[in-house]
Chain A
Amino acid sequence: MALPFLSFGQGKKILLLNGYLHVGNGQTIETALVGIENGIITQVGNSLATKIDKKYWDTIIELNGQHIYPGFVAPNSTLGLTEIDAVRATRDYNDVGTFNPHVRSQIAYNVESRVIETVRTNGVLITQATPRGGAISGTSSVMYLNGWNWEDATLSKDDGIHVNWPASIEGGGWWAEPAPKKRSENYDKEKQELIQFFDMAQAYASNKKPVFDQRLEAMKNCFQKGANFRVYFHANELQQILDIIDFSAKYGLRAVIVGGYDAHLAGKRLRDSNIPVMLQRLHSLPEHEEDAVDLPFKLPFLLQKEGIKFCLQNEGDMEAMNTRNIPFLAGTAMAYGLTEEEAVRAVSLSACEILGIDKKYGSVEVGKSATLFVSKGSALDMRTNEINLILSNGKFIAVRNFQSELYLKYKTKYEQGN
């Protein structure tokens, strides 16, 4: 049931009827109705138990049991910052320098990216445009997957900086000719460099009349108590994670672990320090030879069990184009231990909580932005993920992309027999 392209703008009253609602917070409503006014969800309930004033609504869409989901989220992504991985001219996510907090992804975000088109049609509607490289890669922003320009595509400007925590275990040489380094020396040295930088930034932040410094200015929010600003620490190893816990406590940072392969081993410590995890790409190989073959698939379940707040993300090989497979990462998490709704939460509400945008996004609840989509069947299974309706911040988005158009173009060619 592909809906025709709808050109409704904001300010319209829309009612979705008889959908299977996955709220995003773990709950479901089987015959749900969702009312949307001016781009905001004003009503969520049971279609069968709610009296509907048909005249009140501009548009009523009967879903016949199709599934409603909050827009899925792709945190920690270069989507929109790169177009074709191998073409240098299209790569806008990694600049020169070690400490680059002042580098901001927001203004490089390409709303017209053809990759973005193919991602939202699978249900991913929010991304965190994230710079890469260096010790501090830069400042990310949370973006919609649509807009006329980066300004109106911005959901949360400058939401945090990204720190690549030094590798605690690193080898010199390669496997046939290992050149042993004293790993601790390097690790401690790089850690010290980070500490020095943060010390400097902290002093700058508390200085009432500092001499303006671009880098340190960009760090100020890290130390501002009330600021909705995070420090995203990219790290996988236990040693790193434990050191990050101490580091964050020292500076009073609002920390997030990005990666967290070993996070399940630091359960209590992460829980106690209230540090959430953006879990590494589920579809990856085990880190160690003797790890359970399905350990990466089970990580969400293990974190859930440990009571660690987490969401999924997809950093890795070909990550921009692979963003469209985020629903299936959630599906894999479901197959390996999470309940379906826990899996949905891991790519919606939990992600928004960790990004600090959960007041308005991440679930289909009254008062939140109408950022949601409708799928014929379960969006977490590739056989049934068939998106028929997309609302991004109250705006309808066409359920098509250049790939579906090429499909139709060549299908027509063959049907016409030439």
Chain B
Amino acid sequence: MKNRILLLAFLLILQYAGAQFKPDNGVKDSKPEKILLTNATIYISPKVKLEKANLLIQGNRILDVFSVGKKYDDVVQIDCSSKVILPAFIELNSNVGMPKGDDRSFRNTFGSKGSLYWNEAIHPEVEASRLYEIDAKSNENYQKMGFGFALSHIQDGIARGTGVLMSLGNQNVNRQTIKTSAAQYYSFSKGSSSNGYPSSQMGSIAILRQAFYDLKYYSETVKKTETSISMEKWFSNSSIPSFFQVDDKWEILRAHKIAKEFNVNFSFLGSGNEYLIAKDLKKYNLSVVIPLNFPEAYDVKDPYIARQVPLSDLKHWELAPSNAKLLSDQGVKFCFSSAGVKTIDVFWSNLRKTISRGLKTEDALAALTTNPAELIGMQSEFGTLDKGKLASFTVYSSDPFTTEAKLLESWLIGERTIFSENPSGEINGSYSLNIAGNKYTFQITGSPEKPQGSVQTFKTIPSTNEINGKKVDTLNQKATILRNSNDLTIQFNVNDDLFNGSINLHGKVKTDGVFEGDGTLPNGSWIQWSAIRTKEEKEESKSTAIKLDTSHLVNVWYPNLAFGFDSLPKKNLIYFKNATVWTNEKEGIIANANVLVENGKITGVNTVTTPPKNALVIDANGKHLTSGIIDEHSHIAISKGVNEGGQAISAEVSIADVVNPDDINIYRQLAGGVTAAQLLHGSANPIGGQSALIKLKWGHSPDEMVIPNSPKFIKCALGENVKQSNWGDNNRFRFPQTRMGVEQVFYDGFLRAQAYKKEWENYYASMKMKGVTPPRKDLELEVLLEILEKKRFITCHSYVQSEINMLMHLADSLDFKVNTFTHILEGYKIADKMKKHGVGGSTFSDWWAYKYEVNEAIPYNAKMMADQGVVVAINSDDAEMGRRLNQEAAKSVKYGGMSEEEAWKLITLNPAKLLHLDDRMGSIKSGKDADLVLWTDNPLSINAKVSMTLVDGMILYDASESPQREKRNESEKARIINRMLESNEKGEPFKPFVKKGKKHFHCNTIGEEGEESENTH
């Protein structure tokens, strides 16, 4: 600690020394030695508030703060009676002073050549301190919000480099630089990098992990023989605080996994929906910087448009201002950021709004001062107004937390900026204005800073009507008023009996309610004028007592979108009776049977004659009970990209890293009887990414959805997608472009993996010898090696028989097995060879004709492969078809005449076998997971509908509740839209609704967005 203080002192001295490098122009500036602010209300810290207190400043520091009378004669005194002083706020998420315009311009300073990391998205060498330029306008904006410090950094890339901690202000960069490398910044967004890789969030995760391994490798090994600027800088910054920018709450948990893997600490720059994972944040003790930039209301006056706004957007709009409150309830440490907040007014109104949602004022202040100071280890320097701290604070006309206070002064490390003098009094009211002997009635309204005036003038209109006499026309004329402290300028145009033209007045506020001065008449003659207030307009009570409003807090749903749960369902004790049970076991289909579910497992199949006490008894008379549908090939519930198509081999990426529980299609598929799925990487490249095997646990977290200890899978792909056949003429350059090339990519990858293995074996054999260093850890090759070592299964996208045959030969030659061919539409042509190799097939029931390689796809495929002894599944690869897989299975009865019992296994037991999950799923058998579906009819019938879907014994879909849930969606939507309309009326900012496309990930979707376009699978 002592060292740290010394270091800080040293740094500060350096800064002053820096300031002296440039000689003063003329005689040194005069400055008061000490300044005393007297009689103020001072928030020394969030918890300590002193009334009638004094603050003594010397240079850039606080010398003393006290309330009892100490006498100082030798100081400049500033009277702060009735004023309120707050410690300056600290902004941790800023790019103030960074290069504007071109996103890539920071690279001009740090170069794109030289010994940098191979991928442009990883640039830890970038230092904001070398890019900082004073941006007076932004600084003033920050100051007016109450900020005194900002940690500015380049908001681009995955490893973004370091931020510079600046005191705001516009005088001297050297003096204002508090700390040059104050924190490191990261994100999952590749930003302006010109590399194709990564093109998805899972790719960003993979490259960041690889880069951390490379850092370790560099510092332990490479350093001795090579130099990397990126790695040098990164390594030297290893111990400073790190912030991770996220776009969504789940990204926090994703980044936290990386932090754990590499034993680093990330704090998070949040997106505003952190309240949804408050418990996780507490559990992992994570700090977040949350935005005070809340979503604006939509313009929902038009009901046609209101219909289009998704409930999830509405729910987030309602709860976003409660983010801080919900985090503080869980004891999560958070800071506020003004990032994205457009105006000073919005900043304060949002801050007050968040307090109105139940956040304690002291917590709000802590989130702007002490918490950020602690997060960057600067609490000894600022954050409070204790003795010895930097003199950075803000002076308000009254308490800004409880009133619409006016910001008067901002003090930045001892430098005072006056933004507005406290006007000496209210001038609003009615005046009798006397100009050269003529009286006008003059009105002043508006705010002290922006007074508005109007003058009543009279004009006589000659009348033809003798009875009424002359008619007098009264005109209300707008007057322009400028007020500068006690100086007043008034201008108005007049056309009355006396004058015609502009009257310009200038004068002083003499005593309260009396003005006098000089002016010019339309004819140019100078006159004297005066005004006396005849009626004072009392300003409405300035105090805007914050009304507490926590009415909506109960409305977090799991997940927080349509059809979400109020609370998560429990694993019930459930007894089905009188059901027709499709066991998928040797018992076949048992009529009139019972099934017992306990603690998430099936514990009895037609063995328990009476339901246990406390069991939920479900009379399934006339209904069919089956095991849940398992979709071997699905792309739902994935965040930001299903393909890492940036490279021909991307084995290092994993869908399990980006499982997204907030996909409405999870619920829709539960309603179609699906309980588990393999979320596959796309088919844009020969060796794609690792799969996530999940259960469709609606309302649960990503980690709860991923099946524990599930076997490892990876997606491979062959054919047109891989060789970019249908990508247009611009995609003819990445190898491979032919099936010939595809084979070689596979060989190359696996041969490199073998060489990699050898390298490590050699290392282990000789590691004790002097000078031997470990090879580089390569995440991609390690995964390929898992395939060769039979620790990871392949699901391979494939269509025509030639390529299927090729891959089996290739696998045979390398002594491993292909586990599953997916799509496999020409499997029927070589089913015998498939059987021999021992590979399964997961196919479509009847799709074809969407591209050339499916020109000989036939709907008899499933049956024909099954007839040769191949384990066959039918999959969806489509969010819509995924909810009708029972119908797709039934097509095998039509095409080829498969028995109904076998057809049913195509979407239950067989995919369980292909996924090596058949020991726990795929049939109704005692001991297996209670993933069950109750159908209204024979599940293969076109008339079959799902009554109920259970996952791990929890009822996650219940058709009988659907009308209620739909009603609830409707009323929740109406309730929030009403609130929104109120907010529209109040004049709060709102925006037009912009419809998002109905986008979905397909096999061939490239990039982080879903697609609306046609799917070519």
Contacts and interface: CB of A to CB of B under 8 A. Distances in A.
B994 A290 contact: no
B178 interface: no
* Shortest beta-carbon contacts, A-B, top 10: A86-B851, A331-B942, A290-B562, A171-B994, A290-B969, A321-B849, A175-B996, A178-B994, A403-B858, A381-B942
A407 B864 contact: yes
B832 interface: yes
B900 A383 contact: yes
Contacts of B773: none
Interface string B841-883: 0000011111110011011100010011000000000011101
Nearest to A281: B880
Contact of B942 (A169, A382, A411): A382
8 contacts: A83-B849, A85-B849, A176-B1008, A283-B880, A288-B308, A290-B970, A292-B966, A293-B671
Contacts of B944: 335
A294 B673 CA distance: 13
Contact of A283 (B563, B884, B997): B884
Interface stretch (B96-104, B320-328, B363-371, B661-669): B661-669
B896 interface: yes
Contacts of B860: 403-404, 406-407
Interface stretch (B441-449, B617-625, B760-768, B1009-1017): B1009-1017
A334 B942 contact: yes
Contact of A386 (B855, B880, B894): B894
Interface in B21-65: none
B201 to A, nearest CB: 12
A251 to B, nearest CB: 24
Contact of A318 (B850, B884, B896): B850
Interface stretch (B238-246, B343-351, B885-893): B885-893
A328 B563 CA distance: 28
Nearest to A405: B858
A317 B1015 contact: yes
Interface in B175-232: none
Contact of A410 (B308, B864, B998): B864
B538 interface: no
Contact of A288 (B310, B831, B941): B310
Contact of A171 (B720, B847, B890, B995): B995
A175 B943 CA distance: 37
A385 interface: yes
Given A178-B994, A293-B667, A406 B856 contact: yes
A127 interface: no
Interface stretch (A49-57, A180-188, A300-308): A180-188
Nearest to A172: B994
A380 B890 CA distance: 12
A270 to B, nearest CB: 16
B137 interface: no
A66 interface: no
B633 interface: no
B1014 A411 contact: no
B500 interface: no
Given A86-B726, A286-B668, A175 B1009 contact: yes
A285 B998 contact: yes
A115 interface: yes
Contacts of A115: 849
B1014 A85 contact: yes
Given A85-B1014, A237-B304, A414-B867, A290 B852 contact: no
Interface in A63-82: none
Contact of A179 (B868, B891, B994, B998): B994
Interface string B657-701: 000000011011001000000000000000000000000000000
Interface string B451-493: 0000000000000000000000000000000000000000000
Interface of B: 247, 304-305, 307-308, 310-312, 561-563, 664-665, 667-668, 671, 720, 725-726, 828-829, 831-832, 846-852, 855-856, 858-860, 864, 867-868, 879-881, 883-884, 887, 890-891, 893-896, 900, 940-945, 962, 966, 969-970, 973, 991-999, 1008-1009, 1014-1016
B942 A335 contact: yes
A173 B860 CA distance: 43
A219 interface: no
B1015 A407 contact: no
A289 interface: yes
Interface in A280-337: 283-290, 292-294, 317-318, 320-321, 324-325, 328, 331-332, 334-336
A180 B305 CA distance: 14
Most buried by B among A114, A172, A183, A331: A183
A168 interface: yes
A383 B868 CA distance: 22
Q: Which of the listed residues A86, A170, A292, A381 has the most CB atoms from chain B within 10 Å of its own CB?
A: A86
A320 B854 CA distance: 14
Contacts of B847: 318, 321
Interface string A262-287: 00000000000000000000011111
Contacts of B997: 171, 174-175
B850 A321 contact: yes
A317 B844 CA distance: 15
Given A169-B993, A321-B850, 8 more contacts: A170-B995, A180-B994, A284-B880, A288-B308, A325-B846, A328-B942, A334-B942, A406-B860
Nearest to B973: A290
Contacts of A406: 828, 856, 858, 860
Contacts of B999: 175
Interface in A144-186: 168-176, 178-183
A96 interface: no
Contacts of B962: 292-294
A238 interface: yes
Contact of B1009 (A87, A171, A174, A404): A174
By CB atoms of chain A within 10 A, which of B720, B851, B868 has the most? B851
Contact of B310 (A284, A290, A332): A290
A380 to B, nearest CB: 6
Contacts of B563: 290, 293
Contacts of B1016: 85-86
Contact of B848 (A321, A332, A380, A385): A321
B180 to A, nearest CB: 33
Contact of B852 (A87, A318, A321, A384): A87
A175 B994 CA distance: 8
B199 to A, nearest CB: 14
A180 B880 CA distance: 29
B862 to A, nearest CB: 12
B726 A285 contact: no
Contacts of A292: 962, 966
A173 B994 contact: yes
Contacts of A328: 887, 942
Given A169-B995, A284-B880, A407-B864, A293 B668 contact: yes
A168 B304 contact: yes
A385 B894 contact: yes
A195 interface: no
A39 B726 CA distance: 45
Nearest to B860: A407
A239 interface: yes
Contacts of A318: 847, 849-850, 1014-1015
A382 B945 CA distance: 15
Nearest to B889: A382
Contacts of A6: none
B304 A239 contact: yes
A178 B851 contact: no
Contacts of B900: 383
B896 A381 contact: no
A179 B992 CA distance: 10
A294 B883 CA distance: 10
A287 B997 CA distance: 10
Nearest to B903: A383
A178 B996 contact: yes
